[in-house]
Amino acid sequence: MNILIIDDSSAMRMVVKKTLRMAGFEGHTISEAEDGAAALERIRQSVPDLVLSDWNMPNLSGIDLLAKLGEEGIKVNFGFVTTEATAEMRDKAAGAGAKFLIAKPFTPETFSMTLAPFIKN
Contacts with another protein by CB under 8 A lie at: 9-12, 14-15, 56, 83-89, 103-107
Given the complex with another protein, which of 24 and 58 has the nearer CB atom?
58
Q: What is the spatial distance between Cα 94 and Cα 64, in angstroms, rounded to a whole number? A: 13
* Closest alpha carbon to 3 in 56, 39, 38: 39
**Nearest distance in Å: CB 85, another protein:** 6
* Cβ-Cβ contacts under 8 Å for 17 (sequence gap 6 or more): 5, 30
**Nearest distance in Å: CB 74, another protein:** 27
**Nearest distance in Å: CB 39, another protein:** 18
Burial string for 53-71 (b: 16+ CB within 10 Å, else e) reads bbbebeebbbbbbbebbee
Helix (H) or strand (E) holding 93: helix 87-96
Given the complex with another protein, which of 31 and 107 has the nearer CB atom?
107
CA distances from 44 to 41, 65, 119 (A): 5, 12, 21
Given the complex with another protein, which of 34 and 49 has the nearer CB atom?
34
Given the complex with another protein, which of 9 and 31 has the nearer CB atom?
9
**Nearest distance in Å: CB 14, another protein:** 7
